[in-house]
């Protein structure tokens, strides 16, 4: 069996293909993604944190937007704003645009692109939502450049809010938390479901620890960072520029 390293993780094209075929699963506002522990709670927390910390909200960038759940939730809480939806999957963007317009967005721009090369005017965004996307970053340089890119897109006083899979710096704690996550997946869909999820995480994802990401937010320039929630291998957190 080939050992999975950062160099042979899934390509952008392979990630795009998987999500093109998974639109329905990401179109449920209540459950979000069942493979993610506390998905409804973390969606609630990041959108309420965005609303609490950022005024006014006129333009929201949702990277790895999927079917638009997080933007829709923020619209429910805050009212009208301009929405920029970014995803690798055209199928996701088509679904997200319809749903976000129906939820009351003033305008919706969709961009099929990797957020790291996004052509959006620097300093023009009030809020960035990043749900289950940053774990696709690879080595330290990639993580640094990705966070720097997001920082430059925000206006002063703007904020980024993240929910994502995270790793742990201690191998013993990583093993413990991974076993706990496995038990959760078995409770949702049995051992076959656990193995399926673990397999695509191994092939596709390269998460970093919560501490790593909080430090990196500070390094690239965010003046404040906040942890909203952590349960096992999942966390919700953010930063204010």
| pLDDT for 22 | 55
123 or 200: which carries more pLDDT confidence? 123
| pLDDT for 27 | 46
| pLDDT for 34 | 82
Tokens of 209: 């620890």
* Cβ neighbours for 241, distance < 8 A, ≥ 6 positions apart: 151, 154, 155, 156, 157, 158, 159, 221, 222, 223
Helix ranges (DSSP H) in the chain: 12-20, 39-53, 69-78, 90-102, 140-153, 171-204, 210-220
For all residues of the chain together, what is the average pLDDT? Answer: 90
Q: Would you call 7 helix, strand, or coil by DSSP?
A: helix
Domains and CATH numbers, the chain: 11-166+207-240 (3.40.50.150)
Question: Contact at 8 Å (CB) between 41 and 33?
Answer: no
For the ranges 18-22, 178-182, 184-188, the lowest mean pLDDT is seen at 18-22
Mean pLDDT of 141-148: 97
| pLDDT for 79 | 86
| pLDDT for 8 | 63
Complete DSSP assignment for 158-194: EEEEEEEE-B-SSHHHHHHHHHHHHHHHHHHHHHHHH
Question: Contact at 8 Å (CB) between 229 and 174?
Answer: no
- Tens-place pLDDT, residues 192-233: 999 999 998 998 899 999 999 999 999 999 999 999 999 999
Read off the pLDDT band of 6 (50, 70, 90). Answer: low
Q: Would you call 146 helix, strand, or coil by DSSP?
A: helix
Taking 90 as the threshold, does the pLDDT of residue 179 lie above it? yes
Q: What percent of the chain has pLDDT over 90?
A: 83
Taking 70 as the threshold, does the pLDDT of residue 13 lie above it? no
Mean pLDDT of 57-70: 96
Q: What is the pTM of this model?
A: 0.90
């Amino acid at each position: 069996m080939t050992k999975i390293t950062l160099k042979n993780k899934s390509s952008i094209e392979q990630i795009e293909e998987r999500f093109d075929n998974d639109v329905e699963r990401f179109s449920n506002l209540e459950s979000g993604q069942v493979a993610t522990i506390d998905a409804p709670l973390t969606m609630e927390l990041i959108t309420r944190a965005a609303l609490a910390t950022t005024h006014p909200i006129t333009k929201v960038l949702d990277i790895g937007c999927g079917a638009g759940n997080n933007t829709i939730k923020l619209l429910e809480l805050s009212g009208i704003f301009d929405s920029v939806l970014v995803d690798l999957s055209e199928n996701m963007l088509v679904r997200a645009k319809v749903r976000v317009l129906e939820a009351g967005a003033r305008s919706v721009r969709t961009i099929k692109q990797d957020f790291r090369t996004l052509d959006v005017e620097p300093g023009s965004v009030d809020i960035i939502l990043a749900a289950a996307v940053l774990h696709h970053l690879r080595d330290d340089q990639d993580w640094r450049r990705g966070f720097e890119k997001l920082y430059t897109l925000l206006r002063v006083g703007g904020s980024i809010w993240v929910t994502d899979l995270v790793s742990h710096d201690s191998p013993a704690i990583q093993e413990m938390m991974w076993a706990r996550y496995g038990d959760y997946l078995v409770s949702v869909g049995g051992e076959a479901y656990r193995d399926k999820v673990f397999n695509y995480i191994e092939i596709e994802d390269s998460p970093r620890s919560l501490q790593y990401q909080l430090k990196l937010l500070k390094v690239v320039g965010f003046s404040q960072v906040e942890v909203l929630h952590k349960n096992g291998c999942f966390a919700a957190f953010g930063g204010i520029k």
